[in-house]
Structure formats: structure tokens, C-alpha cells
Structure 1
């Protein structure tokens, strides 16, 4: 699954412009309704709203052989989120065969750089790591009241499929290029300990299925 466009809400467009364009050096455009950031093959859009405190979790793929460079590049620009217990800022996920590190942007979004070792996206080592090495947005977190029901809904209306799991509070739907992280509303986002909340989210994925818009949640999946 490929996430081609991800639209989130924010009350801090100026701060996000400085963060993603200034600190991280990503190409972006300001629009009347917010801003659009080019993250590899994904357009990450932040739509301005006047109230509330929307925040999200999303992940960005980096070349699987350059995780340490990605981590160091990020650490030179922003503070990394440590694990509350160990203080570690680098994490290995065996079930994904991936390494990751986390950051928080000025709007409170929990971002992640992740190197997934089962996909062939290695690049030449030795070249300077920079914003052009961010490949794609590969995860978006979707808090829901009932995770198993949400999994069934997405599988029914899209071509994506869930990873095998018996968990009723955390499921992965998709693949290493793009996935929905379904969590029970109120479950803590790793590694922050911040409870997951529901905020409007629009996702455009590559495909030909009709997509889906929830009637009881502000989520919409469409295809192109």
C-alpha cells in the first residue's frame, strides 16, 4: 500500500512551516488553508483549524541500511523522544524487522523515522543524509473505539489486509510501504505515554477500490 496524500489538522501552521521547512529542510508550500509538505512520494498536508489541539502519529520510511545516519541527522535538528523507562531513543521492532526513532513537532504530532529491513530500499552509503532520503509516509495512526471492527471495515472496503494478531487494542493493516496503525482510543502512543485521540484524517492511497468514509469517525480513505 502506498500513501500518496495524508491530510491532518493543525492550529499551528506557522510553527509547522518553520519546523518541516526550516529545521528539516523539506520542500513545502503554504496555502490559504494550511501547508503541504513533500515527504518523498507522499504529500503531507496540514489543514488549518481555529480550535482544538489535534495531534497524530505518523511514520516516515528511510533507507533500510541507513537508520543510524537518519537517527543522527534527526537528532542534530530536533529532540528525540526517549522511552520513559529506559531513556533509549532507538528502538528495534522484531515483528516488523525494523528500527525506529521518534520526534515531536510543534503541534504535538508524534513523528517516527523507521528503517524497515524487509524491503529493498537500500541506498548508497557514504552520501550525506538529508531530507531527500525520506522516502514516504508509511504509517498513520487511527484511534478507534473497536479495533477488530475497524480491521474488518478496512479489509472490506479496500485492498489492504491486516497482519496476523490476536490483539484487540493494536493492529497493523497494510504493508511495509504503507499501513494503518489501528489502536483503541485512549491507548498510549509509544513511546510518549500520551493517550491516542480521534481527530479528522484523510488518506489517499494508491489503488482502484472505492475507499471508505466512516459514519461515526472523522476518517476518510480514498484511492487514486
Structure 2
């Protein structure tokens, strides 16, 4: 599943610009008073101004399959890593992947994930330019089954992992929707409450998620 662009909402355009451009070194490709966009490999990561309170989100970037250790060292010079217990790198054996977590300026939980099954290695020094694409967009909901049915009706999508009760990942190693029942599960690895947050996605699936409901973009 290809994710071409994710648009999140923020009250702090300038703080997010400072974080992604100056702290992480992402390439700024669009800037206005209402929206900023950054190159994220083959994807675009955007933030759109919203004067209302905005709940934090969770999303992930694919990084080279062999560079989780290099990414960790690079990130440690720039951000505070969110540990997974005693470990700074989460090991998802069932997914054949390893991941690192940190917060951005809006306290979104950002993940760098090295998926071994993609077999997309690199031997260049790690930087923001090493990011391959947006890998995951999480959806916190009280009704996973309904969200799954709506997405599947837009376009058929396989269940990658989990079930329709507590946690369900839809898609493939290239791109996933992470559906979380926020009445029984919290965000990994920090175990914070998973609030429902609005976003717009473009790519193989084109829709907005607003106030818990999906609306297809035509």
C-alpha cells in the first residue's frame, strides 16, 4: 500500500516547521500560513493549521531495512528516544521489523521502522534523506470493525496483523493503517491513551478521517 501524503492538523505550524526542518533536517517543499509540507522519501508529510485543539497522532516512516542502529545514533543527537522498556529499539519479531520512537513538536508519536521484508538496505550515512516513505498511519477508534469495513469498501485491503477487536494492521510492509481500539489499548511503547485525531491521506487510499468518521475524497 502506497502512502503518497499524510496531512495532520496543528496549532503550531512554526514549531512543527522548526522541528522537521531544523531538528530532523527534512526538506521543506511547501510553505504557507496555513500549510507546510516536507519530502519524506517517496511520500509527503504535511501539517495544516487548525485553530482548534488537536489530539496527538501516531505515524511511521520506513527507513532502510539494515539501518535501525544507524538511525538510533542519528536520532539520539537530535531528540529524546521513547524507550520500549529497557530497550531503545523495539523488536517486532512477527513483523520481521525493528522500530524507534520519539515525539515531534506536537507530541505526535513518530516511528522510524526498518522492515527486513522490504529488503531495501543502504550503506550511506543515515540522514533525513534516508527515509524511504511514510509507512504507517494510526487510527484510534472505538469500533475497529466499522473503520475496516469503510476502508475495505473504498478499496479491498488485506489484514496484515491482529483482529477487529483490539488491534488490527491493514495493508502490507510498504504501508499500513494501524487500527487501535482505544477503549482497551494504548499507544506503543509509551502506553499513552490513544485519542482520536483527524487527518487526510492520499495515495492508494484517499480519504479524510474527521471526528471518528471516514469520508472518501473523490
Instruction: Kindly report which structure 2 residues correspond to 1:177-188, keeping only aligned pairs within 5 A, or say none.
Output: 177-186=174-183, 187-188=185-186
Partner residue in 2 for 1:152: 149
Structure 1 runs, 4 residues or longer, greater than 4 Å off? 211-216, 220-223
Would the alpha carbon gap of residues 212 and 102 (structure 1) be closer, same or farther in structure 2, given more than 3 Å must change? closer
Does 57-66 or 87-96 show the bigger shift?
A: 87-96
SS at match of 1:122: coil
Q: Does the Cα contact within 8 Å between 1:103 and 1:112 map onto a contact in 2? A: yes
Q: What is the distance in 1 between the residues matched to 2:169 and 2:163?
A: 11
Does residue 217 (structure 1) correspond to residue 216 (structure 2)? The answer is no
Equivalent residue, structure 1, for 2:171: 174
How many Å apart are 1:174 and its aligned residue? 0.6
Q: 2: CA distance between counterparts of 1:70 and 1:53?
A: 29
SS at match of 1:101: strand
What TM-score, normalized to structure 1? Answer: 0.89
Query: Partner residue of 1:108?
Result: 107
Once the two structures are TM-superposed, the CA of residue 54 in structure 1 deviates from its matched residue by: 2.4
Task: Show the counterpart of 1:39.
Answer: 40
Q: Does the C-alpha gap of structure 1 residues 148 and 130 become closer, same or farther in structure 2, counting only changes over 3 Å?
A: same
In 1, the alpha carbon distance for the partners of 2:89 and 2:98 equals: 7
| Alignment partner of 1:194 is 2:206 | no
- Give the RMSD, CA atoms, in angstroms: 2.0
Shift of 1:146: 0.9
**Structure 2, gaps ≥5 residues long:** none
Counterparts of residues 2-13 of structure 1 (less than 5 Å): 2-13=2-13
Instruction: Tell me the matched-pair count.
Output: 216
CA distance in 1, matches of 2:73, 2:216: 34
Structure 1: tracts of 5 or more residues without a match: none
TM-score (norm 2): 0.91
Residue pair 2:160, 2:170 contacting (<8 A) in 1 also: yes
1:137 positional shift: 0.6
Is residue 157–residue 170 contact of structure 2 (8 Å, CA) maintained in 1? yes
Distance 1:192 1:89, change over 3 A: same
Q: Contact 1:33–1:47 (CA<8 Å) still a contact in 2?
A: yes
Confirm or deny that 1:91 pairs with 2:90. yes
Q: What is the rounded CA distance, in whole Å, between the counterparts of 1:120 and 1:168 in structure 2?
A: 31
Cα distance change of structure 1 residues 79 and 9 upon mapping to structure 2, 3 Å threshold: same
Structure 2 contact 169–177 (Cα < 8 Å) conserved: yes
> How far apart, in 1, do the equivalents of 2:144 and 2:83 lie?
27
Matches within 5 A, 1:54-133: 54-83=55-84, 86-123=85-122, 125=123, 127-133=124-130
Bigger mean CA deviation after superposition, 49-58 or 164-173: 164-173
**Alignment check: 8 A CA contact 1:205 1:221 kept:** no
